[in-house]
Structure formats: C-alpha cells, structure tokens
Homo-oligomer: A and B are copies of this chain.
C-alpha cells in the first residue's frame, strides 16, 4: 500500500474511527497522486476511489497494483454498494473543513453511519513533506528564481502590470512549471499599497516601486516569493520601510526551526511593528505545498510547534495607504537547526536600469 495511505490508516485507530471519506481533491491528490475528480474512501477492508466515466481511463493509466486502490465508476455504483462499504462500521470520519452542509447531509444518507469530524487529519499529515515533495517544491522555487531574474532584466518603462505578469507566467511555463501557484501580483507605484493588488493596465514610470509576488507549481507543488525593486531610482521614503521589512523577515527566519513555538516568534515581530506604528495587514506567513496556503499559519494566536521538513513562506509587509507597500517573502524548508531558504533571489536594493 502507498505509505501515505498506510500512515492515514494508522491514524484512524487513534481517532476511534473505522474509516474516512476523503472529499477534498487536494487531500485525494496528496494520498493517491490522482488529480481526477472523485472520492477516496479508506474503508475497513479496502481503499476505494469512486470516480466517473470522464476519468476512469486516465485513473486506470496512473494507478498501479502497489497502490492497492480499487476504482469504481459511480454510474455502476448502486445505493446498496454505497451502504455496503461501511456495513460493519459505526463511526466514520469526514472532512468538516471541506464538505458543505448540503454534502454532509448527503453523506449521512448515503453511507448510513455516524459521521465524525476529523479536524484536518490529512491537512496535518501534509505539513511534513517527504523527499519527493521536497524535490518538487525545490524545483518550483528554482523556476521562480529564474523567472524573477528574467523579468528584472526584461522589464521596460511603459510596460503594463498585466504585460509583466504575463511574461512571468510565460517564462515559468516554458521552463517546466505546470502553471502558476496563484495569480501573480505585479503592482507599480501606488498600486503596491494593496497587499492583494490585481495586475492592471497601469504602465511603468520612472521612479516607481515595483512589487512582485510570484510562484509556480511543479508536479502540483507550489513556490511563493515576493520582491520589491525600483524603476531607475530609489526614493528615500522607501528605504526605511524596506529595511524594516527585510530585518523582520531575517528575525523570523533566523528564529524558526524544528521544535520552536511559532507563536513566540510572531509575538516579537508584532511588537516591532507596534514600536514603529506600522499596521499589520496580513499574517506573517503560511505553509506551502500542494496548496499555496496550507498549514502551519504563522500567527501568535495559539501555541504551534514547528516541525522539521515543514515548508513555510515568511512574508512580512508594510503598507502605506494610497502611497506604496513593501513585502518581502521567501519559501523556507524548516530544518533541525535552522530554516533553509529555497528561493534565493537577491534582496539588496535592486534598481532596474531602464536604458
């Protein structure tokens, strides 16, 4: 059996459930490698993937005998077939963070069992990456670095945010990425003051600050990086903020490693923001994997012990409404003794020569 499903099966015992219905497609992909639509059911006697005729051919091409997953076509699956899956079971887990209220009621009707909340059991399992996952993330990070190097060499006065975003995407895909990890943020000048700016037809002018927040996917796994560069010149007002943000990112990344309580580190960062009277507009970071945002979240609300082989993006930002914003972000691999930076684009002041 594939090791991820084996691990999950062992977890079921400690939750006192006899099986689990996995509906979240990202969790299905994590556990099986399949990106086709369908429901994965870990049942007492077997692992089942129920899909439909649009996908049966490609699913059967992908799975091997070692996966120990039985594939069914939902059209050939009757009411009784569904009821039989858990015929001797009472308590079965479901994904309360993914399943809609309507689907919850359908699951109750379909499987005739007690549905037990599983509190993100698979999402928690996904925090710690195995070797293959790390390789994919490293590859996504390396493509992102190259795309950034490419774009800062090729950006020109008069290009729009949309055009620049598109060049980044094109470069990433031509260099092996499956696609974007999220819609790229490319924000010029005053547009950078919005943390989630969407690229517009705004053209690049001399003196503009340029905020990038970019990432791609490789075999489904994401990278995430933000950089700020300057078109032709750096205004003094930017420098103080830039240095503060960079210092905070270093403080956080230098403090985080296996066994550290994230809460304490983020509390320090929050105190630094307070001293400077900067508003905290978003979290300081998040896990990265098959989803661009996954566990752990870097916040100070509760205790959260960081574990080796987690992947986290650390992204402090400061935003001056209507004027500008600066966010610096890298994807890190959490190690036993430190955090290893997987996105390595330079972070000293970058003034783009516009010819």
Contact = CB atoms under 8 A, between A and B. Distances in A.
Interface of A: 35-36, 53-55, 57-58, 94, 96-102, 104, 117, 162, 166, 170, 173-174, 179, 183, 193-198, 279, 281-282, 321-322
A194 B57 contact: yes
Nearest to A197: B58
Contacts of A54: 194-196, 281-282
Most buried by B among A101, A183, A282: A101
Nearest to A193: B57
Nearest to A97: B102
Q: How many copies does the complex hold?
A: 2
Contacts of A198: 35
Interface SS of chain A: loop
A124 to B, nearest CB: 15
B57 A322 contact: yes
Given A36-B196, A58-B194, A162-B173, A53 B101 contact: no
17 contacts: A35-B198, A36-B196, A53-B279, A53-B282, A54-B196, A54-B281, A55-B194, A57-B194, A97-B100, A98-B100, A100-B100, A100-B101, A101-B101, A166-B170, A166-B174, A170-B170, A179-B183
Nearest to A99: B101
A150 to B, nearest CB: 16
Given A53-B282, A162-B173, 16 more contacts: A53-B279, A53-B281, A54-B195, A54-B281, A54-B282, A57-B194, A58-B194, A58-B196, A96-B100, A97-B102, A99-B100, A100-B100, A100-B101, A101-B117, A166-B170, A170-B170
A46 B330 CA distance: 42
A246 to B, nearest CB: 21
A35 B322 CA distance: 20
Nearest to A105: B96
A181 to B, nearest CB: 14
Contact of A321 (B36, B57, B102, B170): B57
A183 B173 CA distance: 13
Contacts of A322: 57
A-B pairs with lowest CB-CB distance, top 6: A96-B101, A96-B102, A101-B104, A54-B195, A53-B281, A97-B102
Most buried by B among A53, A99, A198, A279: A53
Contacts of A174: 166
Contacts of A36: 196
